[in-house]
């Protein structure tokens, strides 16, 4: 498990448990054993099973946890997602932290699956963005993949994305080309994407060497179709800016290669999941 995810789990447990779970310690006998199920209160897509497993492992390595669907599988209301068995104190101590992780990650996966379904049958990628919860990026981008989406750049280090704030939009083309050439020479593994606000910028940027993507920022569908014609397959096109479930199908029909949606991660509602104690059920 990545070190940043391990550190996030440490932080989550420390802020919740502190110097000990006083409720479990004083109200549940140390020898009490139990079985509980994580149950879906609404439909969704599973994501975060390994994080949940690690949370309970750190509290009590003796707990036995089995997920029934796997990450990326859809589930329905009432489905049992996992079964945990062992010391009752340990189960309830980890319950809230486990559910906090699962509810958010399943919510992202479920939202992504809805966006992916909305672009069918067009061969377009649904991308996430860097609009993630600080510290959660690896987990949230994994949840996007579990929902059928595709990850955009992970951070500032794995793709150059030149926006108007970098003086590209109004800059000299020769100066821009030289900067691209220098990057390509020094870091050939890093992709290059240029942001275009106008069709004229699309025309100019599509003629540059070494450009992998052009980001079409807040363009209406008619302009997106014109941009596709201008690029003529020389560079891949990404549509972005205020795209919703209601509009993504129309955007996909324009012929762009990808659509990025910050809403996949920055405004997702946590899915409703719960932990139910079991008695005689298998």
Give burial (CB, 10 Å; 0-12/13-18/19+) of 13.
middle
Catalytic residue, chosen from 57, 80, 96, 225, is: 96
Q: Which of 57, 159, 163, 203 is catalytic?
A: 163
Give the bridge partners for 65, in sequence order: 84
Specify whether 178 is catalytic.
no
Q: Which of 71, 140, 195, 223 is catalytic?
A: 195
Active site includes 257? Answer: no
Torsion sign across C-alpha atoms 248, 254, 258, 262? negative
Output the six-digit token pair for 175: 């100066």
DSSP class of 190: S
Direct distance between the N- and C-terminal alpha carbons of the chain, in angstroms, rounded to an integer: 31
Give dist(CA 226, CA 270) in Å, integer: 38
- Measure the CA dihedral 153/159/165/166, to 10°: 170
Contact 96, 16 (CB under 8 A): yes
* Integer Cα distance of 15 and 25 in angstroms: 17
Catalytic position from the list 71, 95, 193, 217: 217
Active site residue 80: no
Residues 181, 258: Cα–Cα separation, whole Å:
25
* Per annotation, catalytic residue among 80, 114, 130, 131: 131
131: annotated active-site residue: yes
217 catalytically annotated: yes
* Residues designated catalytic: 96, 131, 163, 195, 217
């Amino acid at each position: 498990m990545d070190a940043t995810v391990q550190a996030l789990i440490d932080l989550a447990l420390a802020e919740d448990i502190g110097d000990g779970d006083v409720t479990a310690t004083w109200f549940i006998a140390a020898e009490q054993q139990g079985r509980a199920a994580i149950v879906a209160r609404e439909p969704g897509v599973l994501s975060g099973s390994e994080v949940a497993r690690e949370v309970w492992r750190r509290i009590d390595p003796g707990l036995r946890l089995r997920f029934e669907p796997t990450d990326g599988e859809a589930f329905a209301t009432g489905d049992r997602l996992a079964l945990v068995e062992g010391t009752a104190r340990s189960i309830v101590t980890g319950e809230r932290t486990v559910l906090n992780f699962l509810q958010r990650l399943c919510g992202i996966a479920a939202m992504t699956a809805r966006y992916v379904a909305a672009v069918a049958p067009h061969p377009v990628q649904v991308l996430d963005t860097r609009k993630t919860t600080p510290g959660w990026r690896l987990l949230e981008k994994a949840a996007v993949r579990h929902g059928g989406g595709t990850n955009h750049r992970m951070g500032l280090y794995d793709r150059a994305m030149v926006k108007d704030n970098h003086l590209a939009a109004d800059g000299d083309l020769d100066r821009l080309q030289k900067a691209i050439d220098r990057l390509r020479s020094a870091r050939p593994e890093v992709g290059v994407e240029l942001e275009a606000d106008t069709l004229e910028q699309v025309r100019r940027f599509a003629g540059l060497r070494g450009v992998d993507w052009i980001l079409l920022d807040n363009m209406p569908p008619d302009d997106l179709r014109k941009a596709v014609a201008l690029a003529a397959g020389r560079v891949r096109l990404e549509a972005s800016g205020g795209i919703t479930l209601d509009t993504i199908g129309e955007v996909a029909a324009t012929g762009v290669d990808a659509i990025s949606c910050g809403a996949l991660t920055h405004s997702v509602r946590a899915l409703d999941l719960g932990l139910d104690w079991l008695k005689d059920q298998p």
